[in-house]
Structure 1
Amino acid sequence: MTAEHAAPLQQNAAPQTAPPQDVRVGVIGVGRMGADHVERITRRIKGVRVSVLSDYLRETAEKVSATAAGSRVVDTWQEVVAAEDVDAVLIASPGEFHREQVLACIEAGKPVLCEKPLAMNPSDAYDVVRAEAEAGAPLVSLGFMRRFDVGYGELKDALEAGELGTPMLLNCKHRNASVLPGFTDTHMVYDSAVHEIDAISFFLEEPVVSVQTVMPRSTEKAPEGLHDPLLFLFRTASGTVVTDELWVSTDAGYEVRTELVGSKGAATVGQESGMVTTQQAGSRWGGQVPLDFRPRFIAAYDAEVQAWVAAVADGSNIAPRSATAWDGYAAAAVCEAAERSLTAEGAVDVTLQERPA
């Protein structure tokens, strides 16, 4: 081929495009949960890297940063949000700081994945909902990781396909081996039942209108001052009844089960098909019953963060089926009613403000 013929071929060649840039994530709070997320992003999540992180204890931040190549430590969470090398923010700080930190991310126009709770009360959570609506863009994802569990996804798919008919009952079980000293009935609401409360939003997509507490006989293993087990009865706007049985001092392991009873059939997730023994030392769950929530839901956490990163990368910011700011507000409102129901006679009504457009 002569030089004259080679030139046009060069002109028609496909233009070279630069490889996509990794999403640069800033992490606020790198205690147990935050450190888990840094390890997750660094080792298992694609298309992302940790660029900046902060923690109340600088020494802790430095230690975690050493495990994430190319990351740097700053003194304050405000610096994380404002950093030019941060495209999106992951918040794993204590819950009392979430409202202020999420609002700062909204103001900066940066997508945020915030561990629950969104805020410490419904009023503060609604502030976040309103701020996001005023910003005119979806930015807030809330870390209810069960939405990304394989079993949860299968049950959700079955519901959406109409395979189970009309939901009539949703029966939930939530069990822990033990709890930290000072764990109270109120903690039972905000630290444990909150996950099932979000499951109501996820599966049924309708508001809870009332909640009632039933207190069975307590186990002798319950810490002083804690009623354990507890049973919450929720009723939704359409009349679906949800039960949530919580037993958090089993001395055995961590177990979550969910059964949906529909007009065409029932389906259960979280239980293997073979023989299952639980709440005993050496319990079997297709293997050993995990000691806490992290090994049980590690795949769900990975899927949640991977989906969030993909949504940030494509500009949608919130992954399909992720919990939103509104879901966080709804959970806060139901938790507040559940807390009041601990000492009330009968059911307590749930009050929700109007959802912004």
Structure 2
Amino acid sequence: MNQRLRVGVVGAGAMGASHVGTLAAGVPAAQVTRVFDLDTARAKDVASAAGGEAAESADALIADPEVDAIVIASPDFTHADLAIAAIEAGKHVMCEKPLAVTADDARRVVDAEVAAGRRFVQVGFNRRFDPGFQDLKSSIIDGSLGEVRVLHGIHRNASNATSTDDAGLVTGSMIHEFDTFRWLLDGEIIGIRVESPVTEGFRDPQVATLWTDGGQMITAEVFVNAGYGYDVRVEVVGTGGSASLEPRTPVIRRISGQGGSAIGSDFVAHFIESYRLELAAWADAALRGDVVGASAWDGYVANLVAGAGVAALGSGARETVDVPERPELYG
């Protein structure tokens, strides 16, 4: 493999184009060589800006000898098959969340890695790389909060063009919370109930109550059309204190009797540094033949929780999350 990781990106929409730009400008270990999108003109524009070329198809990009590793930023339903194709080609993958739409499809990715006898896939749960979330996790690890009892999460978008139905909100947006809480607590979610104050049409917002194998309870509010902006917050409450991750507000203005700070609406801009850190860590690890961050197994378990969440939204009851034995590959 070259000294720099030659990267092919599948998907040149908002997320894919952002990743191409970040790789080109902010990840010295990587070089974007190919981009594929169904919109060929867009793929050419995005690739050209990074010094790469457009590929004829996703399959051609994966097979291209000028591509060492793959970033998957295409629609959710394509993720599992593309990840498996990359694994079979022996190429490392950074797959945007979710790993798949269903747990069964995500399990196919896990099984492909197990069959290969090594890990290739990092799932794009970027909050694991965000300095604020890492600081919050350190407050749990160092014991300063005492025994953690309760977590509260808020995840709001001004508007969302992808999570547009009841199930999609859980599997496409709330799935971030499922991975975040598992990672923060180093534990498993064992039960979930999901409810909404909206009774007709698209049930947005939704509020989940989750139970963990460590005895904690969690609330997670996800509101993908909140209108006012992009807003992500988490509070961890323990027997010795609490720690909160609040929105970044560097400047507070007080003008004409009003005080406050601006709230952005772009989730990419909000987490741009975490995306850079995520991609840099992925590229460095891939050059070593290693995998960091959320694994395919983590992606699969998040899909299991999401599936139980969709069932809970329909039943109105607490649904059990059954996590099977973890394969030795992910030990």
The higher radius of gyration belongs to: 1
Residue 329 of structure 1: how far off its partner (Å): 0.3
Tell me if structure 1 keeps the 8 A contact 2:68–2:92. Answer: yes
The aligned residue for residue 319 of structure 2 is: 348
**Which residue number corresponds to residue 228 of structure 2?**
252
Match of 1:108 among 89, 110, 117: 89
**Structure 2 residue matching 1:305: 3-state secondary structure:** helix
Can you list the C-alpha shifts for 1:153-177, whole angstroms capped at 9, x where unaligned?
A: 1011222222223221111011121
Q: Is the 8 A contact 1:257 1:271 kept in 2?
A: yes
**Partner of 1:145 in structure 2?**
126
Structure 1 unaligned regions, length at least 5: 1-19, 219-223
Identity %: 36
SS of aligned partner of 1:90? strand
| Aligned alpha-carbon RMSD (Å) | 2.2
The DSSP-based 3-state class of the residue aligned with 2:315 is coil
Q: Deviations over 1:245-265 (max 9, x none)?
A: 122332210100001112222
- Given that residues 169 and 240 in structure 1 are in contact (C-alpha distance below 8 angstroms), is that contact kept between their aligned partners in structure 2? yes
Give the structure with the larger strand fraction: 2
Q: Counterpart of 1:141 in 2: which secondary structure?
A: strand
Task: Work out whether 1:312 is the aligned partner of 2:286.
Answer: yes
Matched residue count: 323
Letter in 2 for 1:185: D
Which residue type is aligned with residue 60 of structure 1?
R
Post-superposition Cα deviations, 1:172-218, rounded to whole Å, max 9, x if no partner, equal 01112123398222222122211111111211122211111233368
Q: How far did residue 46 of structure 1 move? A: 1.3
Query: Does structure 1 residue 40 correspond to structure 2 residue 22?
Result: yes
Partner of 1:3: none
Match of 1:166 in 2: 147
1:337 is aligned to 308
1:155 aligns with 2:155: no
1:34 Cα deviation after fit: 0.8
Greater shift after overlay, 159-168 or 240-249?
159-168
2:10 maps to 28
Q: Which amino acid aligns with 1:297?
A: F
The question of whether the paired residues in 1 share the 8 Å contact of 2:98 and 2:172 is answered with no
Residues 88-107 of structure 1 mapped to structure 2, 5 A cutoff: 88-107=69-88
Correspondences of 1:220-299 after superposition (within 5 Å): 225-271=201-247, 284=260, 287-299=261-273
Go from structure 1 to structure 2 and tell me whether the alpha carbon gap of 1:211 and 1:48 turns closer, same or farther (over 3 Å shift): same
Please state whether the residue corresponding to 2:209 is helix, strand or coil: strand
2:296 to 309, 325, 338: 325
Cα pair distance change 1:217/1:186, threshold 3 Å: closer
Matched to 2:104, the amino acid is S
Matched, 1:73 2:73: no
Aligned to 1:117: 98
Provide TM-score, normalisation by structure 1: 0.85
Segment of structure 1 superposing worse, 174-183 or 293-302? 174-183
